Every structure is written in structure tokens, then in C-alpha cells.
Structure 1
């Protein structure tokens, strides 16, 4: 076969492959790779240009730090042979793309066009420099300029997407109607699941529902305007039965949204929805299956009946207000939002089942990916579900290709892909919390687990490290949204961790088996409901303890104080896990302080002699006062009071 007909990967594919496939040296090779070994073929011909110490002083400082932190002369390579450095090459691209999506709702189309031109021009200049360097060197070199060029190109694409969306929102006729609060008749396609609102509206309705939609036509004052506007429709109880993909006609009153929102307007419905076209079958099936699952769990206890659908499908409609408040007080509301934990458990169970049947790596990954896709369709395309599913799909592709994956690179790729497809996720706090929780687990989770001594079981260390690492990064954002402190959040998450996996796996299996084998699905629902009841009991018990949800400062001050508290928490955990090293560091700091005080210049006294002020010495000289005056005296003579001068 002619080599010219072979498909050559693009530059972006090679760049992404380099980010997620970093060369790894196995410790068993001892660092000696011969040219005949297979591992030597996968390594570059030239040794990597690692940064070296600048001087003998820096080498001495590093050796001293290594000697103090690693007892008994252990080396880093001996303690962690498979540890890799954190790959940050995709992080600038993810940050720039996210910044472009956040700026979209705030800036006008003209300003966004200027930003797009600046980013595109900068990317073009850097790309020309890289091509010139490639022509000179004869090959494509990975460097910081390559990373920056790719980041600017992706940010330019995201800015262009935001500019198009902003131009649709800033249409002159539509903007005037929204600003005037005009009444209109809209034909809209439902794009999200209905969500119950807790607070009553101005009309006094006790039960209100909001649903995301995209307006196709808008009629007001005899004028018909065709547009594609993202809106939020707020209506009564009849809106809870709407489904994704339905085309509805609704009349209501328009009003502008809050600043920084991606939707163009808020439509307060004054009439029930009129269906013009039904959604597709693949869109109706998940919602119907979720409702059937909630009905099948109606025979459980009240807490389990309301919590089980929320933990499996994200349906919190049957969750009581008391239990919801208790879970919010102890930081367990993430259990009712289907996210990365659910996707990880589903992927792990499917991969384990496929590999137990002796399937090859590629078929097992295909089965797991298909199951993950069905799970996403079942629970709905929420922000956290999309992020977790896409990250899991990238990890599966890397696993099927025989490459060891990198969590941070996978997370950055998932963020870039989702923000390019759906820029509205950039201003979603749910998406932000999902990314921060995953980032904390990737960056801090393994390090916190390494703090524990070998005598602690790995599962116990993971039970503490995973929720702690997620809460350290999510805490500052949570206090901005909800200014209160969940005192027992870490303890509650550790206690419910063994119960989450049975609820998720058995509940998801029950949803799939419900149309096929109802009696088996009922049995699985009963077992999953038992564990869900345990989660509810832990939430209620923790919420009833004193000081479970004290108030926290609001705004920027609350965010900064929570950042400081998170740092202190990490320091406290490290101190508790390393008591001997902590005592040694305290003694070393004390000795250094004493030496520093001894080196301070000694000031001379008035008589020219040295003074003892500022030295840690013992002085036995008496000040001249009677140091025994507080003691009881045997002199029973009454002391005469001293008269004031000039008194009589």
C-alpha cells in the first residue's frame, strides 16, 4: 500500500494526543533502556530537556527539603514510581474558551466582533511564526507557542459563537418588545426539563414551574417576527408535563432577564400551553421511563420514595421540603443531581461486567459507551451529566487505544467541547461546581490520599480524600450562592459514601428492567430504596445536630474567608496525618526563631554598656518592691488612710 494514501493525523489531533499520551517510564526498567528494547522505540531519540538546578545552592536546598520531607533517606522515585507530572497544556485553551463564553452575555455584538478579530489576528501571527520555525527545523515542535496558538484559535471560535448568539438577542425589534414588557404570542420548542419554583410569583400562584425554550416565531401588535431566541417560560402547574422537543404555542408577557443571563427574555405565561408538534420518540421515552420508575417506587417509605428517583434519574419532584432542607444543611444536595459520580459508577459496572465475560478491551469499551449514552438519554442532558459523560467517553477512547489517560487533560477536553457546542454552560453555576469538584478530585484527591500512613486502608483514605478535595474547591462558590456553612458536610459525605453505589447501580438497573421484567425491577427498587432510606436518615440526623448550618458572610468577603478556611482545613488534615513531621517542623521553626533573635543587633545602653533587652535570659534581680506584699501579714495594726493634700 502506498504510504501517500495513508491518512495523516491533523495538527490538532497530534496536539491532543500529546496532551493525553505523555511518555511514561516504568520503575521496573531501572532507567536503563537499550536500543533493542521495545520501550526504547517509543522514547525520543534525544533525552528530554529537563530543567536543572541553576547552582550548587539550589541543589543543596532541594536535597535538604527532600531529606526533611522523606524520612530514612527515601527518594521520590522510590516512593511514587508511577507518579506523573501534571499536564497543563490544555488548561490555557479551556480557560480562554470559558472566558469567551462568560463574556458573551455581557458584551454587545460589536465588542465581541472586535475581541474575535484580536484573537484571530494573534493566533494567525503565532501560527505563521510556528510554520516558519517548522520550515527551518524540518519538523513540528511542541512548545508553549503551540499551546498558546491552539488556545487563541479555540477562544476565537468560542467568541464567534458568542457574537452570533448576542446578535440574535440584540435584534432591534425584539429588544424593544422585551424592554417595553409587551404581551406576545410565541411558538417555542422546549429545550429543557421543567423545574419547580419554590417562591410564589407576583400573581400569588403557590405552584410555579419554569422551563427553558427556544422561540421560533413571536407575534405582537400584529407583527410576526421569526427568530431563534432562548427564553425561560414561567407558568402554572400545567407546565410540569411538558417535555423536551415539544413545539408549543403560548401567550404571555415578556420581560428582560437579569444581567449576565444567556436567555434573551423571560416569558410569564398567561395561558396553558397548546401543543403544535410532539417530540420525537427518543425524547419521549426517557421522560416516560423516569415517571414510571417514580410510580414503581411509590410503595417505599416516604423518605426513600422521594429520594430514590432523585439519586437515580435526578427527579426531585417527590422529595419532601424537610428532607431537602436537611440535605442542603449537611451538603448532600449533590446526590440528587446526576453528575460524575453516577457516570463513573455506571461505567465501572459496565466495564466490570464486560471484562468478566472475557470480552476484549475494544468491545468492552463499546458496550460501556453505549450504556453511558442510554444513561444520559434517560436522565436528560444536564450540564454535569454532559461534562461527566463526555469526560468518560474520552477516557474510554484512550483506554480502548491502549493509552494511559490523564485526568486533567480529559477534563479540559470535555470543558472545551461542551463550551463550544453549548456556550450557555459557561455561566451555569451547576456546570462550574461540577468542573470544580472534578478538578479538586483530580488535583488534590490522590495527594490527600498519599498523606495517610500505610496502616490506613486505601478505601478509608479515599472516603475522606474524595469529598474533602471536592469541597475545598466548591466551598467558596457554594457560600456565594448560599451564605451558610455546612459544619458536618465532610462527615455526612463519608458516612453516605458506602450507600451511594448500591442506590445508583441497583436503581439504574431497575429502570432498565422495568419494562422487561417488572418483578425483578421491583425487587431491585426495594433494595435500592433501603439504602436510599439510610441516606435520608443520615441527612436528618446530621441536620438535627447543633450548629449544623451556621450563617456565613456574604459576597466577596465570604468567598475570601472560605478560601482561607479551605487552606486551613487542608493544613489541619496534613498535620493530623503527619504528627511526627509536624512536631519536627515546629521544633525546627522554634530553633530558627531563637537563632534569628540571637542574630539581631544589640543596642547599647546610655552608659555605653550592653543592654539585655531583647534577649531570652533569666533575671534574678529584685525590682526593689516588696514581692511578699500579696501574702497575709501577721501585723494586725490597722493601716491609717492617707489624707488628700489640703484636706481637713
Structure 2
């Protein structure tokens, strides 16, 4: 006979699952992430200091592991060897970050801060509007675009240059440019506001004077995006059309400002950003269709679908990160092997940080990793525990997925926005049944828009009802009292909300924790109240 589940919804089965999870790569990924972030934030000197410190510690752990090999027990050798591997990997990443940070600090553009110079930049994404009238010196709208520096003109000659830049420019002449195009313009570089290995923030003067041709893939993708936008506007209402474009392509330029604010207040903005769930849904649909062809053809066609979707929504670092996280989530869902999902997540984090160390200080990356890890590790345990208590499985899974993903990302959201949505779990549970139909149907319509327009109209029309539901869920949840509460932004907000989450979970999971919390509160009040009444507090 099965005994009652442990407090907090973690039963014996859940505890066994946690013990069986292979966390070695995940541990290495966490350590490497910390070392890389320290180097990105602190600069080359800090990165070299971290590399030396963890390298020495790793060497010491390796010596301990080697000496423990001659002893009878293998446990200490395994632990020391694992620790040595983690520390030495962190040393390598910290050293690589130091090299990149040094390249940023000694980049030739740093000597041109505050001067107008001609430069060439390769665009990494679409220019996006950052404000309306009044943003520019002449009252014109402005755009922001990330790119990679290619040349700098000094002394009348163009010299090769490298480095990530962010460009602020007038919308005229910049809107409509595509990723991969190289643009030449006059700009004034300045020191960037954020420490993320960006070499300069550039204010462009006027339109580009030279623009290279976009690649064939980008021209095709741009045509698909424009036809899909026109299709949505023609068939759906304004709010639904903007939302479907956001769900499928991450393009929120068509969403009315009020609807955008309602999605923010309801904690649903992740739906209109290209996230891992978008890739999981689209790739899951492709896999479902091609699975009868066999494992290898299905894997090849699914990989091609991933590449095509990446090109369609733009191959920016955030999109590539989302593709990796979505494939990991799909792996866990399709195979049902939780042991494989966590090492895959750790390997993905390591690969992404090796490719782009700046992701270590990117809030979107932190939220993606946290949500994916929670869905891989925590959600199955919570579902198993609640099932043991007789809860309906479909409702349990919807609530658990929404709750887990929201809980682990609250500290990051609080740090970057200074606010927390109190209705996010409710809104995500209500929205869950409509997200997949609207996204999948919208993706099918986007694929048909260029080759079968009348069929695309019929398909996108069927995305109207789920999109209508999502719009009204956001509107209703955002209108509830105390839908969003303000908290300090930055590290203070993250620590405060994380402490609150730990406190609530501990209160639910442990009777001893509840007694300790009550006693600590009473003790604090016993000290503070008399001091307050006597004028010392």
C-alpha cells in the first residue's frame, strides 16, 4: 500500500527521480556561468583573477583525486575528480572571457568616443522603434539595432574593425533593413551603458550612405513575414492580428499599445517573444507529421524546420538560445527521459556561453534556462506528488507548468522591471489551452501565405477564436485589483522576491519551517516594536 506523499507534493517517487538525475553537467554549467558573468561584468583583470583562482583550486582538487586513487574507497576520488573538472572548466571559460574583455577594452573605437566618424556595421537584427515623435533632435522617430562593427574610417582610410555595437538612428532610411546587411554611415560612438562586451553605443547621423544587398534567405524570410502580416490584418481584428504575429514571429509591432500593456500586467509577455515554447510547438508539429517516415528522416526534417524557423524569425542570439531551449524541452517531452534532459540543458548552456559569453549577463537567457530547468526537474516531481493526492492530471499539469515557470523567473522579472505580476499563474493557466492552437495554426498560415493564399486565409481565420480568448484573458487579468505590485528593481528586487518564494515554499513544505518562521517574526517584532514606540526605531 502506498504511503502518503511527503509534504510539499514531493513523494517517494519524486525523491527517487531527483536522486537519479545526473546533475554533473548542470553543476559545471552553473559554475562556468558564474565565472563567465564575473569576467563580463568586471572586465579583463577580474576575469584573469577568477581564472587564476579557480584554476589553482581545480589543480588542488585534481591532486586530491589522484592521491585518493590509491585508497580503498572510490567515493572521495570521484567527488574530487568531479570538482576538479568543474573548476578547470570554469578556469578555461574565465580565461576565454578575459581575452574577449581585453579585446573590448583595447578596441580602436574606444579612442574615438565622442567623435563623428564613418563606419560600416553588419546588422544582427531588424531595426526596431524605440519611441514615437519627439525622440530625435528633429522630432522624428528613432530606431535601435544591434550589429557587428566591420570598418572604421580614420585618416581618410577604412580600417578593419570588430566588436559588438548598438546603433541608435533615425527611423528614415533604417526601417526595413534586414539582418546580415552591411550599412555605412556617419556616427558618434560612446561608451555603452551595459557591461555585456559591447564596444560602443553609436548615435547615427541620418540615413546610411551605403547599404549592401540582403541574402536570398533573408529576402525570402522578409517576404513571408510581410505577407503574413498583411494576411493577419486582412482577416483578423486589430488586437488578434497583432497577437498572432507576436505568437508566431515574435513581431509585436502590430499590437496596440493598450493590449501590450495588458499582456505585461498579466504576466503574458513571454507569449509574444520568440521563446523555447514556440520552437517546441512548431517542431512538435513537424515531428508529428514526419514521424511515420522513420527516426532518421524525421530528425533531419525537424532540424530543417528549426533552421527555417530561425531564419524566419531572425537568427539573433535570443532566437538561437530559444531554439536550443525549445529542443531540450521537446526532447524531455518526446522521450520521457528526465535523466537525459538535465545533462542536455547543461551541455546547451556550456555551448551557448562558449559561443557568446555576453549571454551570461542576459536576463532573457537567465529566464529561459531557469524555466527550462524548472520544467525538467521540478514540474515532474510536483505533478507526481499531486497525482498521488488524487488531483485530475490535465488540470494538475496546466497549473504546475504555469506555477513552476512563473516562480523560478519572478526574481529575474523583478530585477529588470521593478514589478511582479500577482495574476501571472492564473493568467497562464487560463491562456494555456489557447496558446498551442493559435501558435501552430498561425505557423501553418505563415507557411501557406506565399504559396496558397486562399488556404492561408482559411487557416489564419481559425486562429481568431484562440487569439480572441488570449486577448480577453490578458484584459481581464490585468484589470484585477493588485494585478501588479511594485518591488525594488535590480539585485534588491531579485533577493527580496527570491526570499519570499523560498519562504512561501518552505511554509508549505515543512511544519518545522513554519514554527521557525513564526518564532523569527515574533522575535523581530519583540525587538522592533518597543524601539519604534520609544522613538529609537
Q: TM-score range by the shorter chain?
A: 0.7 to 0.9
- Which residue, out of 107, 127, 130, partners 1:197? 130
CA distance in 2, matches of 1:528, 1:400: 25
Shift of 1:445: 1.4
Matched, 1:188 2:121: yes
Kindly indicate whether the alpha-carbon contact (under 8 Å) linking 2:227 and 2:450 is maintained by their aligned counterparts in 1: no
1:265-300 CA deviation, whole Å, 9 max, x = no partner?
A: 111111202344223222332233222211111111
Q: In structure 2, do the counterparts of structure 1 residues 123 and 545 end up closer, same or farther at CA, with 3 Å as the change threshold? A: closer
CA distance in 2, matches of 1:466, 1:321: 28
1:391-427 CA deviation, whole Å, 9 max, x = no partner?
A: 4556778999997743222211111111101112112
1:308-348 CA deviation, whole Å, 9 max, x = no partner?
A: 11110101111111111111011010000111111221232
CA distance in 1, matches of 2:67, 2:328: 33
CA distance in 1, matches of 2:379, 2:240: 31
Q: Which runs of 5+ in 2 are unaligned?
A: 520-537
> Which residue matches 1:385?
319
Q: In structure 2, do the counterparts of structure 1 residues 405 and 550 end up closer, same or farther at CA, with 3 Å as the change threshold? A: closer
Shift of 1:353: 2.1
The worse-fitting range, judged by mean Cα deviation, of 119-128 and 200-209 is 119-128
Q: In structure 2, do the counterparts of structure 1 residues 243 and 154 end up closer, same or farther at CA, with 3 Å as the change threshold? A: farther
Shift of 1:502: 0.5
> Which residue matches 1:345?
281
CA distance in 1, matches of 2:252, 2:285: 25
Q: Which has the higher contact order (CA 8 A, sep 6+)?
A: 2
Matched, 1:143 2:69: no
Shift of 1:111: 4.6
Kindly indicate whether the alpha-carbon contact (under 8 Å) linking 2:65 and 2:77 is maintained by their aligned counterparts in 1: no
CA distance in 1, matches of 2:137, 2:32: 41
CA distance in 1, matches of 2:107, 2:350: 32
Q: In structure 2, do the counterparts of structure 1 residues 516 and 173 end up closer, same or farther at CA, with 3 Å as the change threshold? A: closer
- Which residue, out of 257, 266, 269, partners 1:330? 266
For the aligned residue pairs, the C-alpha RMSD in angstroms reads 3.6
Kindly indicate whether the alpha-carbon contact (under 8 Å) linking 1:205 and 1:236 is maintained by their aligned counterparts in 2: no
Q: In structure 2, do the counterparts of structure 1 residues 83 and 354 end up closer, same or farther at CA, with 3 Å as the change threshold? A: farther
Shift of 1:370: 2.3
1:66-111 CA deviation, whole Å, 9 max, x = no partner?
A: 977569xxx936x988775332211232123212332333334355
Shift of 1:377: 2.0
CA distance in 2, matches of 1:316, 1:438: 24
Equivalent runs, 1:405-444 vs 2, <5 Å: 405-444=339-378
Shift of 1:183: 0.9
Kindly indicate whether the alpha-carbon contact (under 8 Å) linking 1:399 and 1:405 is maintained by their aligned counterparts in 2: no
Shift of 1:190: 0.8
- Which residue, out of 472, 487, 497, partners 1:562? 497
Q: In structure 2, do the counterparts of structure 1 residues 554 and 164 end up closer, same or farther at CA, with 3 Å as the change threshold? A: closer
Q: Which runs of 5+ in 1 are unaligned?
A: 1-65, 576-581, 594-648
Shift of 1:541: 1.9
> Which residue matches 1:363?
297
Q: In structure 2, do the counterparts of structure 1 residues 510 and 339 end up closer, same or farther at CA, with 3 Å as the change threshold? A: same
> Which residue matches 1:499?
434
CA distance in 1, matches of 2:333, 2:4: 38
* TM-score, length basis structure 2: 0.84
- Which residue, out of 252, 276, 297, partners 1:316? 252
Kindly indicate whether the alpha-carbon contact (under 8 Å) linking 1:214 and 1:230 is maintained by their aligned counterparts in 2: yes
> Which residue matches 1:286?
221
Size of the alignment, in residue pairs?
A: 508
Kindly indicate whether the alpha-carbon contact (under 8 Å) linking 1:251 and 1:269 is maintained by their aligned counterparts in 2: yes
1:163-217 CA deviation, whole Å, 9 max, x = no partner?
A: 3322322226432212xx1111101111223222137546264521111111111
| Matched position secondary structure for 1:143 | helix
> Which residue matches 1:244?
179
Shift of 1:487: 2.3
Q: In structure 2, do the counterparts of structure 1 residues 126 and 375 end up closer, same or farther at CA, with 3 Å as the change threshold? A: same
Matched, 1:207 2:141: yes
- Which residue, out of 94, 97, 103, partners 2:38? 103
Q: Which structure: greater helix fraction?
A: 2
Shift of 1:304: 0.8
CA distance in 1, matches of 2:189, 2:63: 49
- Which residue, out of 296, 299, 302, partners 2:238? 302
Q: In structure 2, do the counterparts of structure 1 residues 269 and 130 end up closer, same or farther at CA, with 3 Å as the change threshold? A: same
CA distance in 2, matches of 1:135, 1:201: 70
Kindly indicate whether the alpha-carbon contact (under 8 Å) linking 1:90 and 1:147 is maintained by their aligned counterparts in 2: no
Q: In structure 2, do the counterparts of structure 1 residues 549 and 119 end up closer, same or farther at CA, with 3 Å as the change threshold? A: closer
Kindly indicate whether the alpha-carbon contact (under 8 Å) linking 1:323 and 1:536 is maintained by their aligned counterparts in 2: yes
> Which residue matches 2:25?
90
